Structure 1
Amino acid sequence: MAKDQTGTQTAVTPAYMKAISGSLGGIVEASCLQPIDVIKTRLQLDRTAVYRGILHCGSTVYNTEGTRALWKGLTPFATHLTLKYALRMGSNALLQSAFVDEETGKVSVRGRLFSGFGAGVLEALVIVTPFEVVKIRLQQQKGIQSNLLKYRGPIHCARTVIREEGFLGLWAGASPTVMRNGTNQAAMFTAKNSFDVVLWKKHEGDGKVLEPWQSMVSGFLAGTAGPICTGPFDVVKTRLMAQSKSKTVKYKGMMHAMRCIYVEEGLSALWKGLIPRLMRIPPGQAIVWGVADQVIGLYEKKCIKGSAAHI
């Protein structure tokens, strides 16, 4: 427990509670938004204008491959989000502890930016990259007959990638993923805290539990800036992850991929899939924070009340 400048007690929520809150939010997000992620991936991999837009892409997948195709890659996606948010929330909390002012118990804006970036880099290397390689390989497959598909499921996909491309094949596109996630989380954690304070007068650790809709508004707003800023990294990441090294490799790395896409397809191609990203990430952050804030807020409220009762 610490006190801020007004003398109000603030609770320090342990990292494991934030990890649990994030993982629960990730499960709900994955279940709701998987079709949008499938559409985003198909649009980013579309080099010949097969799809004329989001609705056309979604309807084409539905009409030619069935409803289940819109949830392709759900198992690795849900597992990926659950582990990712647990690691993101937990590591961010641990990193923030290094920037906490001992007198006020608060974290500076710089501390939030550094902590968020560090959490993003960690999740990108440990969880996001290998899971997204598997997810994208599954999502790019067209068709519904499993015997005609190269990858028959997430485990088979991972084994095939390792056999054909080596263990590091699961880390294809790691560089743009690190840049994307690090920047995203630096902005997201800082913005989320700022919106909570400005909109709802909610300070971290004050024991106040926001209404779910309030958390969702803050999460939605915090999740909008990242996709716009990191669009090129996301497109390059998808292209690098999708190409199999058992075939001719088109892109040799992050910068080479960016140059090729710019020269061959134009500047706007570096933001392909931006609209479905904006359809997925801000609502996804709204869902995650709507769940996570309830868990964290209830813990803080119980912690403060419990501590106060013993004073």
Structure 2
Amino acid sequence: MSDSAKSKQATAPVQVPDFTLRDYSSFFLAGALCCTISHGGLTPVDVVKTRIQIDSAYKGLGIVSGTRYVIAKEGPAALLTGFGPTAVGYLAQGGAKFAGYEFWKKGLVQFAGDQETAVKYRTAIYLGAASIAEFFADILLTPLEATRIRLVSEKGYANGLVSGFTRMAREGGVRELYAGFLPILCKQIPYAIGQFTVNEFCHELVFRSMSEDTKRNLSGTSKFGIALGSGIVAGFAAAVLSHPADTLLSQINKGHGPSGSMMHRLSVLAREAGIKGLFAGLGPRMVMTAGLVSSQFLMYGSIKQALGAPPGIEIHKD
């Protein structure tokens, strides 16, 4: 590229679509549906994962052996414990997260000022957009996640979402419902970073090896394969990054740990668990998260297309 071409590229205004309120509504609906379907469908895996994290009787068990143990001990219906708060919680959180990522990514790209700067700092843009979007989404998720964990970890606590949420609110108030907000942030922000940032870079690596003509003429099968593979890798990254905080969140909502500030409780629980304890149940969660993230991106793209929503902003490096 000539010096004049480089100069023009450096000063070129950043290219961003003019998303409308209808577009953001479509992003929200697509995110809400993909997250509630994926998380709700994987409730049995999440039940087993949570039991492995907090119940000593499940120590050393994997996803298959843990599932068999739950069925033998409590019956098949126990695998659907917490389905209500999971579905409702991730309906709200998913919509806010995906729409928020599109919103903040656009804002940060515009803040960069020109195309070259946006591409140069794309990692910071991905990290910032994912983190901010997840923060606001977690305000909606936290009380429902607390209800889900209490239902899964304490047999007979309540009959379902409404009775469980009501009991927590009555007995502990807002303080109890949001007791896990800090650990949820510690879990969900790294999760979102892995989910969105790794997915973006997986797509970039694949597309960088293709010519423009090849990219324009990709078959539906090829697009599906790229989205699926990128989602699986992003899911593995999200699971590893967020698992220690996920373990601590389960412990906090079970009522474990000393009294005092949340930071003190988290630090004590982390020291007691050690590295091995913090990563207990990682195998089942990696399986679960790879399925979650890949299915979410596939559904999100399909639902957006069905709703007539525009594609997201791409700032990949050529």
TM-score in terms of structure 2 length: 0.78
Distance 1:198 1:165 in 2: 49
Residue aligning to 1:197: 204
1:1-311, aligned counterparts within 5 Å? 11=17, 14-46=23-55, 48-54=56-62, 55-101=64-110, 104=115, 108-124=122-138, 126-142=139-155, 149-200=156-207, 211-243=223-255, 250=258, 252-297=260-305, 299=308
Does the CA contact (< 8 Å) of 1:212 and 1:294 recur in 2? no
* Cα separation, partners in 2 of 1:114 and 1:265, compared to 1, 3 Å: closer
Distance 1:59 1:51 in 2: 14
Higher alpha-carbon deviation: 57-66 or 19-28: 19-28
Distance 2:72 2:300 in 1: 36
Report the AA paired with residue 290 of structure 1. Answer: L
Distance 2:271 2:94 in 1: 36
TM-fit CA distance, 1:157: 1.1
Distance 2:107 2:310 in 1: 24
What is the CA deviation profile of residues 111-158 of structure 1, one whole-angstrom value per residue up to 9, with x for unaligned ones?
Answer: 12111110111112x22211110000111133xxxxxx2312211111
The sequence identity of aligned pairs, in percent, is 21
* Cα separation, partners in 2 of 1:230 and 1:51, compared to 1, 3 Å: same
Report the AA paired with residue 90 of structure 2. Answer: L
Higher alpha-carbon deviation: 233-242 or 102-111: 102-111
* Cα separation, partners in 2 of 1:173 and 1:286, compared to 1, 3 Å: same
* Number of aligned residue pairs: 285
Distance 2:311 2:207 in 1: 20
* Cα separation, partners in 2 of 1:164 and 1:281, compared to 1, 3 Å: same
Does the CA contact (< 8 Å) of 1:216 and 1:285 recur in 2? no
What is the CA deviation profile of residues 184-233 of structure 1, one whole-angstrom value per residue up to 9, with x for unaligned ones?
Answer: 21332222122122224699xx9987733321211111122222222221
What is the CA deviation profile of residues 60-113 of structure 1, one whole-angstrom value per residue up to 9, with x for unaligned ones?
Answer: 111121111111111111111222110001111111121224654966321121
* Cα separation, partners in 2 of 1:57 and 1:290, compared to 1, 3 Å: same
TM-fit CA distance, 1:302: 9.6
Does the CA contact (< 8 Å) of 2:40 and 2:86 recur in 1? no
Distance 1:64 1:152 in 2: 18
Residue aligning to 1:307: none
Does the CA contact (< 8 Å) of 2:234 and 2:290 recur in 1? yes
Distance 1:267 1:80 in 2: 29
* Cα separation, partners in 2 of 1:274 and 1:159, compared to 1, 3 Å: same
Distance 1:19 1:53 in 2: 37
Distance 1:41 1:207 in 2: 44
Distance 1:191 1:302 in 2: 18
Does the CA contact (< 8 Å) of 1:262 and 1:270 recur in 2? yes
User: Is there any run of 5+ residues in structure 1 with no aligned partner, and where?
Assistant: 143-148, 304-311
Does the CA contact (< 8 Å) of 1:21 and 1:86 recur in 2? yes
Higher helix fraction (1 or 2): 2
* Cα separation, partners in 2 of 1:228 and 1:253, compared to 1, 3 Å: farther
Residue aligning to 2:5: none
Distance 2:229 2:245 in 1: 26
What is the CA deviation profile of residues 230-249 of structure 1, one whole-angstrom value per residue up to 9, with x for unaligned ones?
Answer: 222111111111229xxxx6
Higher alpha-carbon deviation: 103-112 or 86-95: 103-112
Report the AA paired with residue 293 of structure 2. Answer: Q
TM-score in terms of structure 1 length: 0.80
Does the CA contact (< 8 Å) of 1:133 and 1:242 recur in 2? no
Report the AA paired with residue 130 of structure 1. Answer: P
Does the CA contact (< 8 Å) of 1:129 and 1:177 recur in 2? yes
User: Is there any run of 5+ residues in structure 2 with no aligned partner, and where?
Assistant: 1-8, 313-318
Distance 1:114 1:10 in 2: 17
